[in-house]
Chains A and B, each alone.
Chain A
Amino acid sequence: MSRAARLAIAALRRAAGGLLLLVGATFVIYITIRSAPGDAIDAISPMGTPPDVKARLMEEFGLDRDPFTGYIAWLMRSLFGDFGESLVFSPGAPVMEVVLPAFGRTLLLSASALVACLILAILAALLLGEPSRRQQLLTGPLYVATAAPSFVVAVVFVQFVNWGIKAFLVEGGYVPPSWYPLEMYTESLVPYVFAGLTLIAGDGLFMDFFNSVRADLNALRNAQFIAAVKAKGARTLGHIARNMVMPLLSGYAARLPIVLGGVVIVEYVFTLDGGGYVLLEAARERDFPVVVGLSVLFTATIIAVNLLTDIIRALVDPREVAHGG
């Protein structure tokens, strides 16, 4: 079989596995809904919901049927992006219309924070090289500082820094470039920048990345095959880069859930109009369809990213496919 065909088969298998996971994870979410004590419909609808809306909710979540067929019906609807209508947050609007733009901002924010964190970690690892005693005077305190939950970092930022800089930039007549997609806060990019910095600095993300990147990089530099490449007089950069892709990718995929957790509260602290903020506001107002829609989106994102990294890994590393992956 050709390599391309094998790759395609491996990709298809992984995609099928991802779909299975999505079905499983949504089933867990659905069962959680059904586990509400007493009458599920009272647990999931806000106080004073009119009976006709309650009846619609019952039907949408399949509460009038047994859990299994109810789940199938709900899944069929959800798979096509129909999560019902928002109740309180934005009454009457389809959940997807409310949730998707906000979730897009969340994705953009967390993805750019992760990429920035990765670049910083690689730069720091290249700069610092082998760990030494003197460096620990720097990395030790940094470790403690960056173990802070991102929302604590966010509170500190909001208190001390954000307001000063925001006032400075906005009054300084700063205009963001027209391609900048974040509409709500276009008059100030600053909260987003700070939210991103918060995500990088919080939850131990940066030090985690930095430590693993440095360990991998140093191990690679001392590897025998690199010595062989050097002995032949070839450049080592390409070889090192290619072998760094794998650990970086898995590290990236492993940390996405942490960032997606951190971003929820960080958005709330900075009052950014993202998926996390909408999730918490909707939870507060008991706007159940919105909460469920967002939960499914967050879960699907994690599965999709894992799938993507798996496929990229197969592309980069022939061994992954050769053994029937």
Chain B
Amino acid sequence: MGDSRLRVGLYLSGTVVGLVLLLGVIAPFVPYDPADAVDYDQLLQAPGMGHIFGTDGQGRDVAMRLLKGTEAFFLPGLMAAALATVFGALCGAVSGYAGGWLRGGVLGTMQLIDTLPRLVFIILVCTILNPSIYLIAFVAAVLFVPSIATVIRRRVEALGSEDYILAHVAHGFRPVRILLYHILWLQCRPLLIRQATYVFGYVLFVEVALSYLGDYGVQEPDPSWGNMVAQARGLRGVSAWPWAVPAVAIVVTIAGFLAFGNLLARADEEEVR
């Protein structure tokens, strides 16, 4: 892959990531009352001057709901991404660097968590606990720890036999410092960012899916990209705007985040070479 292509991809996906982050930050400060937004004179308007993405079946502005819909996944997504990355990195580093029972214990636990079917387990948790999106995000984070740990463990194992790491050991640096700074911080950052974008994308997916299904996600009239897509059920053949816009937003956001993480990691690899 050419360098310029890589850069174009990075700019494109970076724009998507930046835009979503921007929307997520400003959304809480925009006042919005779903009941107030209903306007029966403006049902199912096509996109135009007053409403850039048109209006839905109750005359509510789609663009506004799209903006407020980011609240449903933004903070939980960031939280889960941070949690999963930190714990994944730690578990990966420990199992890659330590030996004996510690390594065995961590590996076993990771394998155990990895056998749980993610979405099915989340639905099970929802049935039992009727949880908030934050708890769901926490569960998602835990479910993602093994895959992150595996990636990091491979890297740590590969680095552990490198001469310069051995030199650090010979210098008498503490293992904790070597692991946290020299290996995780200096060598694994792009990998960790990539994994973090995965987790963020997954939380978006889960939130949207649960809201689409309607029982455990965001309930109408509060907006979520998922319950906006769910409007498709009532609008078959009438108007596509109210659900197509959020559907495109979901696809672009997830693709943007995944591509950004991937390209960042690849750019780093090419730099190393």
Q: A residues within 8 A CB of B115?
A: 21-22, 24-25, 299, 302-303, 306
The answer to whether A148 and B128 touch (CB under 8 A), given A24-B112, A295-B120, is: no
A259 to chain B, nearest CB (A): 10
* Contact status B126-A261, CB under 8 Å: no
Which of B5, B205, B259 meets A144, CB within 8 Å? B259
Q: Is B169 an interface residue (CB 8 A)?
A: no
B58: CB under 8 A from chain A? no
- B117 contacts A by Cβ under 8 Å: yes
Stretch from A7-15, A29-37, A48-56, A112-120 forming part of the interface with B: A29-37
Partner of B205, one of A149, A163, A257, A288: A149
A224 within 8 A of B: no
A147 to chain B, nearest CB (A): 4
Q: Which chain B residues (80-138) contact chain A, with CB distance < 8 Å?
A: 108, 111-113, 115-121, 123-129
- Does residue B240 face the partner (Cβ distance < 8 Å to A)? yes
Would B118 and A261 count as touching, CB distance under 8 A?
yes
Given A152-B229, A261-B119, A294-B120: A25 touches B5 (CB 8 Å cut-off): no
Contact B123 A291 (CB under 8 A): yes
Interface residues of A in 134-151 (CB under 8 A from B): 136, 140, 143-145, 147-149, 151
Name A133's contact: one of B5, B127, B236, B252 (CB within 8 Å): B5
Interface residue stretch chosen among A81-89, A184-192, A214-222, A278-286: A278-286
A178 part of interface (Cβ distance < 8 Å): no
Are A291 and B255 in contact, CB atoms less than 8 angstroms apart?
Answer: no
Min Cβ gap B243→A in Å is: 7
From A36, A43, A265, A295, B213 is in contact (CB under 8 Å) with: A265
Say whether A209 faces chain B, with CB atoms less than 8 Å apart. no
A143 touches B259 (CB 8 A): yes
Q: Is B20 among interface residues, defined by CB-CB distance under 8 A?
A: no
Chain A interface size range:
35 or more
Kindly supply a per-residue 1/0 record for chain A positions 88-103, scoring 1 wherever the CB is within 8 Å of any chain B CB and 0 otherwise.
0000000000000000
Inside 8 A of A143's CB, which chain B residues have their CB?
A: 255, 259
Docked complex: A149-198 residues within 8 A CB-CB of B: 149, 151-152, 155-156, 158-159, 163
Give the docked Cα–Cα distance between A158 and B212 (Å): 15
Q: Which residues of chain A have C-beta atoms less than 8 A from B247's C-beta?
A: 152, 155-156
Majority DSSP secondary structure for residues of B touching A:
helix
| Proximity bits, B1-13, A CB within 8 Å = 1, else 0 | 1100100010000
CB distance from B87 to the nearest CB of A (A): 16
B68 to chain A, nearest CB (A): 20
Q: Tell me if A206 is interfacial: C-beta within 8 Å of chain B.
A: no
Chain B residue at minimum C-beta to C-beta distance from A145: B251
Q: How far is the CA of A286 from the CA of B130 in the complex (A)?
A: 11
Q: Are B255 and A147 in touch, CB under 8 angstroms?
A: yes
Are the C-beta atoms of A144 and B128 separated by less than 8 Å?
A: no
Nearest CB on B from A203, distance (A): 8
Instruction: Kindly report which residue of chain B lies nearest to residue A148, judged by CB atoms.
Output: B251
Specify which chain A residues have a CB less than 8 angstroms from the CB of B128 in the assembled complex.
32-33, 35-36, 43-44
- Chain A 241-259, CB-CB to B under 8 Å as 1, else 0, gives 0000000000000000100
Chain A residues whose C-beta falls within 8 Å of the C-beta of B209 in the assembled complex = 149, 151, 265
In the assembled complex, B152 has its CB within 8 A of some CB on chain A: no
- The size class of the interface chain B forms with chain A is 35 or more
Among candidates A21, A25, A155, residue contacting B243 with C-beta atoms closer than 8 Å: A155
Q: Is the Cβ of A302 less than 8 Å from the Cβ of B117?
A: yes
| B contact residues around A147 at 8 Å (CB) | 251, 254-255, 258-259
- Please encode chain B, from 219 to 250, with 1 for each CB lying within 8 Å of some chain A CB and 0 for all others: 00000000001001000100010010001001
| Contact across chains for A155 and B119 when beta carbons are under 8 A apart | no
Bound CA span A35–B135, Å: 13
B212 touches A151 (CB 8 A): yes
In this assembly, does B269 line the interface, its C-beta being within 8 Å of a C-beta of chain A? no
Give complex CA distance A299, B117 in Å. 6
Give A151 Cβ to nearest chain B Cβ, in Å.
6
Contact present for A148 and B250 (CB under 8 Å) = yes
Instruction: With both chains docked as a complex, state the minimum distance between the C-beta of A301 and any C-beta of chain B, in angstroms.
Output: 8
Query: Is A264 among interface residues, defined by CB-CB distance under 8 A?
Result: yes
Closest residue of chain A to B240 (Cβ to Cβ) is A159
Q: Is the CB of A295 within 8 A of B254?
A: no
B112 touches A28 (CB 8 A): yes
Closest to A303 in B: B115
A265 and chain B: residue at smallest CB distance: B209
Residue of B108, B129, B243, B247 most packed against chain A (CB within 10 A): B247
Q: What would 28 A/B residue contacts be, using CB atoms closer than 8 Å?
A: A25-B112, A25-B115, A29-B124, A32-B124, A33-B128, A36-B129, A133-B5, A144-B252, A145-B255, A147-B254, A147-B255, A147-B258, A148-B250, A148-B254, A149-B209, A149-B251, A262-B119, A264-B119, A265-B213, A268-B213, A279-B123, A283-B127, A283-B215, A291-B127, A292-B124, A294-B120, A295-B121, A303-B115
Add 14 more A-B contacts to A35-B129, A155-B212, A298-B117 (CB < 8 A).
A28-B113, A28-B116, A37-B129, A140-B9, A144-B251, A147-B258, A148-B250, A149-B208, A152-B251, A260-B117, A268-B213, A279-B120, A292-B124, A295-B121
Top 5 nearest A-B pairs by Cβ distance?
A261-B119, A147-B255, A148-B251, A298-B117, A144-B255
Binding site for A on B (CB under 8 A): 1-2, 5, 9, 108, 111-113, 115-121, 123-129, 205, 208-209, 212-213, 215, 229, 232, 236, 240, 243, 247, 250-252, 254-255, 258-259
